[in-house]
Amino acid sequence: MMFSQKNISLPVLALFLSACASPQIANIKYMDNATLKQAEETSQSPQQVCETASMAIARANKEEFNFFAPLHLQQASENLKKGQDEIKNQKTVAQGMQYCFKVSTLIENGMTTKAKVESSLSDALAELKRLKKVDEGKKFSNDIQDYVDDVIGLVKEIEEGSMNEAMQGQAELLKKMLALEVDIVLAKNLNPVKAMLARAGDEDADELAKKTFGKAETELKSARKFIRVYYRNNEQVKKAAATAMRKARHAYYVAKEVETLTDLKPEAAEEKVLYIESLLERINRKFNKDVVIGHSLYEQTSIIDKRLDAVLDASAVTKRDLALIKQAYKDDENRSKSAAQEFVLQNKQGETSPSQAVTDRSRQIPVDEAKITPPLAEQPEHAPVNDAETVPPVADELKQTPVNNTETAPSVSDETKQAPANNTKTATPVSDKTKQTPVDNTKTATPVSDETKQAPVDNTKTATPVTDTTKQTPVNNTETAPSVASTARQAPVEDKLPRSKRAGY
């Protein structure tokens, strides 16, 4: 079919030529139609359209379109450049806007393609990451990059719509990538072993220590076979490589020891060295550690010596730690006992508040209310008290002198309001009662604060202090001294007891 400029407009022809110049992206015709429709219906300015296209390219670079959608990124970049050039010319502004609109369309479709790639080529993508991780020394970077390019080729096939071809290509590519992974693991773990065997060969180990050298070569082959099967079991791979390395080092050092026994035949010299090593290994086996074979005889003895020192040091540390543990156990046990005792005490106290606890304790003590002076705040309405039955101290009851306590002594704080008193008859201190003269305090004033309500009090048998009652002379204190607030308006009370009882006989 022949095309001419008369039948095809310039923008459509440009889009068609650009599509032919690069690999065909699936659904490209649909995107072209959508682009033309956007250009006809847009209300944006050419500058705004170009700016949007540039932002779409930046997004594509951030999403790694160079790997996940390279064809979309390539064509989008080409369309952006053409659109920017066309917009500069007033005559081709419309075509330039179409190019810029196509950029955004390609990027949106590229995001969909990226999701398909991540799902369809997940095995190949995972193997690429594993190869880069295994190749720690970056010795296979070129080989890995070749496989990266092969995976990008599969991605392009998906962009073009050839999904089946891409999946078949992935299966073949995975085999090669796995083989490369095995080679990397072998090289990383067994190359040092091969180098050590080469050094043993330089010492003529193949001649001077044929038996040992042969075992080292056999162990290397065994390790290689093992790693080819279990190349992803890092721990087992390292153990196999370590065993092969020990055999190779053994061959190297045995060869060097044999050289010092040149007077002996090689076979006899080798057996001698192996016998010495067996004796050293017999000692080393007691430590339950790795074998010391693979080092010089001197180094083997040094290793055994260090392990013995470690055992002795560990024994001392163990004893010290055991003592610390025992002490810590005792401390914990003591703390537990203390905590248990505190818990028991708290339970005994109960859940009462501190004020309630004080109240409860006060109720547990027997109290003779007849001998307790009430608080000042409660005395104005104090009920009459009959102290005629107050019992004197037992020790002094038989020798107590008669006391006529018809009136109480006033309190010091209320002396300013007391009635005139006969100071010649004021009671002497307790310590001087042995020589005290009779005192008449019948007219002593009582405190003013309670004069109105205080009832008569009969304190004819009020007890005298224990220490001074044995020698006390008769005192005319017809009334005992009440508390500070309870002496108001007391009426004199006559001592009506028989003379025999008043005399204390």
Place of tokens 């300015």: 45
| 147 vs 149: CA distance, rounded Å | 5
DSSP string, 342-382: HHHHHHHHTT--HHHHHHHHHHHS---GGG-PPPGGGGGGP
Domain extent listing, the chain: 10-120, 128-259, 283-324
Instruction: Kindly give the confidence (pLDDT) of every residue in the chain, 505 residues in length, as a single tens digit, with 9 standing for 90 and above.
Output: 333 333 434 444 444 444 445 567 887 888 888 888 877 777 888 888 889 999 999 999 999 999 999 999 999 999 999 988 888 887 888 888 888 888 989 999 999 999 999 999 999 999 999 999 999 889 999 999 999 999 999 999 999 999 999 999 999 999 999 999 999 999 999 999 999 999 999 989 999 899 999 999 999 999 999 999 999 999 999 999 999 999 999 999 999 888 877 777 778 878 888 888 898 888 888 888 888 888 888 888 898 888 888 888 888 888 888 888 888 888 888 888 888 888 788 777 765 555 554 445 445 555 454 444 554 444 444 444 444 444 444 444 444 444 444 444 444 344 444 444 444 344 444 344 434 444 444 443 444 344 334 444 444 444 444 344 334 444 444 444 444 344 434 444 444 444 444 444 3
**Residues contacting residue 52 through CB under 8 Å, at least 6 positions apart:** 44, 100, 104
DSSP string, 226-288: HHHHSTT-HHHHHHHHHHHHHHHHHHHHHHHHHHTTTTS-HHHHHHHHHHHHHHHHHHHGGGT
Q: pTM of the full predicted structure?
A: 0.53
Provide the pLDDT for residue 350.
62
Paired strand residues for 245 = none
Q: What interhelical angle do 70-88 and 93-120 show, nearest 10?
A: 170
Paired strand residues for 458 = 386
